[in-house]
Chain A
Amino acid sequence: MPHALLLKYPGTNCDVETERALSAAGFSTQVQPIATATPVHVERAQLVVFSGGFSYGDYVMSGRLAQLETERFLGDALQKHFDKGGFLFGICNGFQILTKLGILPRASLIWNKSERFECMWDRLVKVSASCPYTQLLPDEFELPSAHAEGRLVCDLGDAEKYLANGCVALQYADNHNGSELRIAGLQDPTGRAMGLMPHPERFLLPRHHYDPDWAGDPDWGWGYYFFKGAFEALK
């Protein structure tokens, strides 16, 4: 059974529902507070997950302190995990952390165009064909979002490059936060590392949709298939 390690920082707060989604997809799971995390924890896992929340309050640039603390406690264990074929998945604040850790293509997540925290559902469009996390999903689907710093920006020309070389996993249909080229999720060229701003773990079951008449899937919400997709790729 593939094993998933979820790293928890002070201020991480979506760990319970993310662990719930991982278990539903078939993973064995461990939630590990960063202060007691060791490279051994990482070695045991096929998938390392960074869930949503506000690590260290996000008072400086989101994800920055989590990156420094991760390097302090784990050294280069995550890079080694990735180099050996391991998977990494970052959701919301986890995406911000994964971006800072330098495993995903270079980008930053800054304040939304509205300069507000916004809790709303986003329509998403699948872009990369080689993303294990989205392989089971339809071309267009919905997920809930909740963030203040989700506007993806890159160095000049990088966004176009990512779109061309398959590093854009997902785009927004409506782009409420103002991301460059509507990018909602990034992946590394292999697809093993992926991050996105919306919250798949919050749409695990059809009952989590805002519309009681939602009929997209009889058994699961769209979010489930991210975790199931990773499970299928790792089992």
Chain B
Amino acid sequence: MPATYRTIPVRELSEEELTALSRDMKLSLSSEDMLVVQQIFREIDREPTDVELEVIAQTWSEHCKHRIFAATVQHTVDGKQEEIRSMYKTFIQRPSKEIMARKPGFVLSCFVDNAGFIKLDDKLSVCLKAETHNHPSAIEPYAGANTGLGGVIRDILGAGKGAKPIANLDVFCFGAPDTPESLTEGHNIIHPLGIMRGVVHGVRDYGNRMGIPTTSGAIQFDPAYIYNPLVFCGTAGVIPQTDIAKEMKPGLAVVVIGGRTGKDGLHGATFSSAAMGEASAEEDQQAVQIGNPIEEKKTLDVILEARERGLIEFVTDCGAGGFSSAAGEMLSETGGNVYLDRAPLKEGNMQSWQIFLSESQERMVLAVKPENVPELQRLADTFQTEMTVLGESNDSGVLRVWHHGETVCELDNSKLHEAPTKHLTSVFISSPSRTGIALNDTHLGADLKEVFGDFAVVSREPIIREYDHEVQGNTVLKPLAGAAADAPQDASVIDIDGSDKLMSLALAILPEWGKTDPYAMGAGTVDETVRQLIISGTNPDKVALLDNFCMGNPESPVELGRLVECAKGIRDAALAYGAPYVSGKDSFYNYFETENGPVNIPVTFLCSGFGVVEDVSHVCGASLRRSDSVLFLVGNTEDELGGSVYARRHSIVDARVPQTDCTANFAIYKRYYERALTKGLVLAAHDLSEGGLAVAAAEMAFSGKGGLCIDLDKLPTAHGWKNLVVPCFAESTGRFLVEVDPDMADDFASAMEGMPCARVGYATSDGKLTLTSGGKVALQEEIAALKHIWKHGLTPYY
């Protein structure tokens, strides 16, 4: 039999030769990294095998190790220098630990497992995880998005001793679907329309077949995403609290369940840690995996049943790095053996490293007591999926990988987990921001129609309908509601089997803001997420967050500077809202080399949040319910047009971006929740976000139950404005419209006394949106006409 592994001499190589080796083997390791690798093998006094080099490359890849988020950054803001030792520890972990210390018992597990868990009630816990699958989706949109969702579902299945997936979220950033073909021709990239259709179908075919409702999502369009589309997929799960903790012990059988191992998905982890180029499509085809949701559904059925029967000691998914990372996670401390010969393969003649590193989909690795293996085998047979005992744990402290009777990999993991620290520099220069810009406010109606036709605002209905958002029969607040089930909502709320409490889910993403004020983007994005959750019925003290960052080239100081400033914003916001980050992920190198230089995506921050709704009576939709009700606006409106849809449509690039006082906002939200929402004073509430007040008011009325009349002069404000574009279209944070029964209006006003809150208008039965100022009509449009523009914005492209 020909050898299935090679020994690669590295001990005597020069730095140049090491770098060349890394390039030839596609290891994506820098010359500094390769020198450390060389040192490791000099110390243990032998040459590495190709399996070992591949394992190191995978372990140290950006995808797995987040070395940029852990790097030491010399950051300069407006000439002042500061040193950040690990953005992750400084801006994510430290504030989260501080919050957890303030709220003992709320976060049950975070930073250690596949997802972060929070307490739902006395018995159950809910968790959430979101990931990106950007590079695969750029090359093969259907398969890339398909396996992106499949992967994050497995994260939840491998969280604790196996959580049950109960909801999916999906967020996309694309080039506009009407992008001229001339912009994509000749670049060997797929047109944004092809990306969008492929990605949506990929998410659809995986999520629907898994029987998990896709309840939340968003799409952003920007020309910079033409070359590097972003695809975020997330999954929420539920698990008994007693099944969260898992521990490896010596003497357990290590078992793989699900799909077979093949040559698909090789080098996925290292591939996603490098830039895209025009040759990517061909070279990297084999890094994109192929999805089979039914295989994963069978695996899910086995794992949930096995967990309920108490058969599982430890479980994790085969994600990036395949068996290598799963076995590494399970066996690096206890030690153990993995026998590659036993792995069921899709094809013959696979090299040892290919079997060990393959990222073939739909595989889960479990550790079970040897006496429970037969019962687990019966379950696998019952659900018609394949199961194999791949190896065992022992107390040697060393993971040995065997193939055809030979050791092909034997690494001391304590050395591997100390990847060399990266050193980076970043710079941020704050740009001037204008207020009081002279704008024409005499055709606000036409402006509103233009804003409603913008891709940032239009209805996602054609996409939402392709996803099953009601399977499992627990979606209480759906993505679309109102009298005709087509009006937008702010959050989704999911009933949890076996509990009186519910879980809420919301997200926000505002990449436009970060182009001028990334700190404000960070704070504003967190604010919007928290606000949506609370006004939909979530207890303000029971909100947890996820941070997902994407950016271009981190070695560009200007690009990295924006990321650092954004991270500061999200740290401060989390502390103010008492909402810890319980999980997160980052994706770098989202830039594309063209003959005219690199195109970087804007620094993009997705904030997903989830929380506890204490009682189904607290669930509150965003759609107008009556034609005789009164409207209150909570939160100040300021002269902050920066980053708004209006500003983009009018090419205003230097207006002030909304500034968020998170501490003040949180006091407002808590008051609203405690004294208004949970006291039954609220009929409906809708957050003000993209498009500002005019869009939010019309969206409320898209329920089809009434029109709205609002007096712009009554809007709460601290500093006012010079023209009516501001109250109509500024996207100041912290604001939401509240519909109140006229008989409860006084009670509501006194509940909110002392807060920036005013009675600004009333519902009508005239079917119009009317905004007035100085006793005159400033804007009046038929709701039906606005809804038509909004509802059909995407349909021509879809």
Contact = CB atoms under 8 A, between A and B. Distances in A.
Nearest to A69: B384
Interface string B335-353: 0000000000000000000
Nearest to B383: A33
Nearest to A54: B209
B542 interface: no
Chain B interface size band reads 35 or more
Contacts of A129: none
A157 interface: no
Interface string A33-57: 1011000000000000000111011
A213 to B, nearest CB: 6
B75 interface: no
A210 B292 CA distance: 32
B625 A212 contact: yes
B119 interface: no
Contacts of A207: 476, 495, 616, 619
Interface in A116-167: 116-121, 144, 146
A6 interface: no
A198 B293 CA distance: 23
Interface in B340-386: 381-385
A11 B294 contact: yes
A119 B470 contact: yes
Given A35-B383, A211-B481, A16 B621 contact: no
A54 B476 contact: no
B383 A120 contact: no
B467 interface: yes
Contacts of B470: 119, 144, 146, 199, 202, 208
A210 B381 CA distance: 40
A10 B298 contact: yes
Chain B CB count within 10 A is highest, among A16, A33, A119, for: A119
B766 interface: no
Question: Which of B298, B301, B471, B478 has the largest number of chain A CB atoms within 10 A?
Answer: B471
B466 A116 contact: yes
A118 B382 contact: no
Contact of B210 (A13, A119, A199): A13
Interface residues on A, range: 20 to 34
A180 interface: no
Contacts of A208: 470, 473, 475-476
Given A13-B297, A57-B209, A117-B466, A202 B384 contact: no
B468 interface: yes
B480 to A, nearest CB: 7
Contacts of B464: 119
A210 B484 CA distance: 9
B473 A17 contact: yes
B345 to A, nearest CB: 21
B263 interface: no
B348 to A, nearest CB: 25
B297 to A, nearest CB: 6
Interface string A10-30: 110110110011000000000
Nearest to A114: B465
A146 B471 contact: yes
A54 B208 contact: yes
Contacts of A53: 211
Contacts of A202: 470-471, 473
Given A33-B301, A57-B209, A117-B204, 20 more contacts: A10-B294, A13-B211, A13-B297, A13-B471, A14-B471, A14-B473, A17-B474, A33-B384, A35-B382, A54-B208, A54-B294, A117-B466, A119-B465, A119-B466, A121-B485, A201-B473, A202-B473, A207-B476, A207-B616, A211-B483
Interface of A: 10-11, 13-14, 16-17, 20-21, 33, 35-36, 52-54, 56-57, 116-121, 144, 146, 199, 201-202, 204, 207-208, 210-213
